[in-house]
Amino acid sequence: MKTTIETMNNGQKKVINPCKEPCSVERGMRVLGGKWKASILWHLQDEPVRFNDLSRMLGGASKKMVDQRLKELEAQGLVTRHVINDRPIAVAYAITELGRTALDILERLKEWADEYVV
């Protein structure tokens, strides 16, 4: 249902169908809207990527920031972490099936940004 504002007979305003806190859009933005999160998912869509390579792909992000965002995405079930036992030991990240469900949204966002040059 859509949230609306109605003016009562006494001039006071009343909210009809207010969003429950947090609303669906807010919950979604908490998952995908954090800085670098969407970009991380985007870069993982084709294959698992090692941590250092992913950090390089993200250009302006520090390794600490990438590590924090990956931990958040992992806790949310959007990426998985795999330790590679080669020498030197490395860590790779892969997108999960749940993470893949966000790619349609990100594709539409990309198209919108390209179309309106935002």
Give the pair of three-digit tokens for residue 110: 């990309």
Distances from the Cα of 31 to the Cαs of 19, 37, 63, 76, 90, in angstroms? Answer: 18, 8, 20, 8, 26
- The Cα–Cα gap between 87 and 1 comes to 56
| Residue 95 pLDDT exceeds 80 | yes
pLDDT at 34 over 90: no
| CA-derived radius of gyration, the chain | 20
Q: Extract the tokens encoding 100.
A: 């893949």
Identify the pLDDT of residue 2. Answer: 85
pLDDT at 50 over 90: yes
CB of 43 within 8 A of CB of 58?
A: yes
**pTM recorded for the entire structure:** 0.83
- CA end-to-end distance (rounded Å), the chain: 30
